[in-house]
Structure 1
């Protein structure tokens, strides 16, 4: 992972913007949407800057002041890059390529725009509003997370791609079913290429709490798991494997 994706709250905060023309105006519109206060290079309170014309000298001068800088089309002089954005407020999806290809990020954004329903933001807000009820229904933190994962899973009552997911929230809260019990699933890998993962394997990797894996399982496969999932190289998984969903990854043959 070449960068740490973060979402910055910029409302009322000064951000330096330099450069002229359409590129600068596009960055201005983006900053204004985020609520930033756009200032010039003389502002001593600013901690963030966008050099929209990619001027390396300006970028390096600002970086020398301890300011985090984005220099358009000059990734080697950037402390951060600006992603392509899918906005389903309050849901934001950022697609970055580390400056390698803005065109690729744009193409992926367009695909996701067509895929994600307009009510996705409403689902996020409904889940936020329901937090007290969710905590009351599942007081244990691990059980609560597993219940939410199951609700939001493909085909689940809160599946974000379902058109009626928001309307299904009350019935989901009223269900008497508990979260799925702790379990161990085995993934037999027939290839070192993560693109060869089955849909089931990819889904399990995205949900698992921990990964037990043989030492020779490629890092490219392990990287497809949740970023915060525990990864443990062992010859065989322990019994019991632990709470939640655990995976045992082994290479075929």
Structure 2
């Protein structure tokens, strides 16, 4: 049983409802050949073969090229010219023969016919050499895939031949995520790894150091003092001695769509030992987490069995005291109606390091869905985020309704599905026009997203009509009247501003 189990049993009052699979089925197994100073056989002098040869040379291989001179194309001619004096390409002015595979680590061919491909493949296999025949997948032991190069960090991408163009698109996206400086940091890690490990005990101390290193690796290019700073960090961790205390990160999961996560949020999920996640966090977000991380559902939903906030606080403290890197994963933004303040206060009082990674809050996700600016200068001078639900189940007693009813403001009510009638009545009582545009939204950015538009006087009736499985967000203000004809369809026979659109 996991060492975390006693901690979890002592605190959690509900079962773990969701457990992601560590690894889904693979079409191919991604592996990386070490080819430095190894022999690679290349048969054929075409441009396609030349490109594969460039990859092999970049990996440090020594090439045995079998190709009659009259068949050597322009790209290979350039490679041969550049190699003069280096001796990394041995050109044999003839076709390949079975004895050419002796001592080879890998073999590549651009075969013109099925018969040639079959013969090359059989000869390579007989010599125990992995083989790839260009554009003939039936005669390939491996694929090259698409590469993102931050060497010594190398990312390989494969679609198993299904869509090479898609692999190129994925590569472009990854290129934007990995800074060029990553190569320098990775090279420094390789250079100093043995030194770091000689100074740090295995386990929590090493883990703490490498997590801090990763934070640097996604930042600016290391300067002249970077190596010494890392060594000093090793010494600080060693001097601290004793059992290392973990840390807690409060991470915003956004409204649901995993593509709306920040890069820092993804890195936090990848570094976590334990993830305490809300019920509203989507499976697609959890899929990005470190496979080995323990995932514990601590959701709090109105009208359902929930984990108490004090229990969650206790759990974070216990796990951090055990040296774990804890991610408290909250839907939306942790600092907007996420009880982050209570959690930070408790962690500060216990002396446990805590960091916050912001996320996209539901109010901003709604604005993006509608393509509306919450602060459009023709409509609004301010934005207010207000909770629509108190511990007593009604609207909070201390809302400044005069400010909320300001027609020059945009107001977003969170968790307002059961209190819409009270909200509408309070706003009307404080002078807000009953025709003020209103938007109701739920499950923003998710496949079951729903958005309706109407006016304040129709708000209570519409929410009584609809049944929502997820929390409801209500936006009120003139900005929600913009782009109405473009965004919403109006059926004849309904009121002037019917709540008629479902975007699910």
TM-score by length of 1: 0.69
The answer to whether the 8 Å contact 2:273/2:293 transfers is no
1:243 paired to 2:323: yes
Partner of 1:130: 192
Which stretch shows the higher mean deviation, 26-35 or 168-177? 168-177
Aligned length: 245
Partner of 1:141: 203
The answer to whether the 8 Å contact 2:273/2:325 transfers is yes
Which stretch shows the higher mean deviation, 35-44 or 20-29? 35-44
Distance apart, 1:22 and its partner CA: 0.3
Deviations 1:12-45 (A, max 9, x none): 4343433441001121232233233445462265
Q: Which of 241, 247, 255 lines up with 1:183 in the alignment?
A: 247
Change (3 A) 1:207 1:68: same
Distance apart, 1:205 and its partner CA: 1.2
Q: Which of 227, 247, 252 lines up with 1:169 in the alignment?
A: 227
Change (3 A) 1:27 1:129: closer
What SS class does the counterpart of residue 130 from structure 1 fall into? Answer: helix
Change (3 A) 1:139 1:29: same
1:33 paired to 2:58: yes
Distance apart, 1:88 and its partner CA: 4.8
Change (3 A) 1:198 1:142: same
In 2, Cα distance between equivalents of 1:217 and 1:70: 43
The answer to whether the 8 Å contact 2:125/2:131 transfers is no
Change (3 A) 1:215 1:2: farther
Change (3 A) 1:29 1:190: closer
- Unpaired stretches in structure 1, ≥5 consecutive residues: none
Change (3 A) 1:181 1:7: same
TM-score by length of 2: 0.39
Q: How does 1:18-167 map to 2 (within 5 A)?
A: 18-38=43-63, 40=96, 42=98, 43=101, 46=104, 48-53=106-111, 58=117, 61=122, 65=126, 67-75=129-137, 78-89=140-151, 91-98=152-159, 99-103=161-165, 105-106=167-168, 108=171, 112=175, 116-117=179-180, 120-153=182-215, 158-165=216-223, 167=225
In 2, Cα distance between equivalents of 1:115 and 1:37: 30
Deviations 1:45-102 (A, max 9, x none): 546333435866626646865654434345565442214445455x242341333444
In 1, Cα distance between equivalents of 2:254 and 2:125: 50
The answer to whether the 8 Å contact 1:69/1:78 transfers is yes
Structure with higher Rg: it is: 2
Distance apart, 1:120 and its partner CA: 4.8
In 2, Cα distance between equivalents of 1:213 and 1:63: 52
Which stretch shows the higher mean deviation, 48-57 or 193-202? 48-57
Query: What's the Cα RMSD here?
Result: 4.3
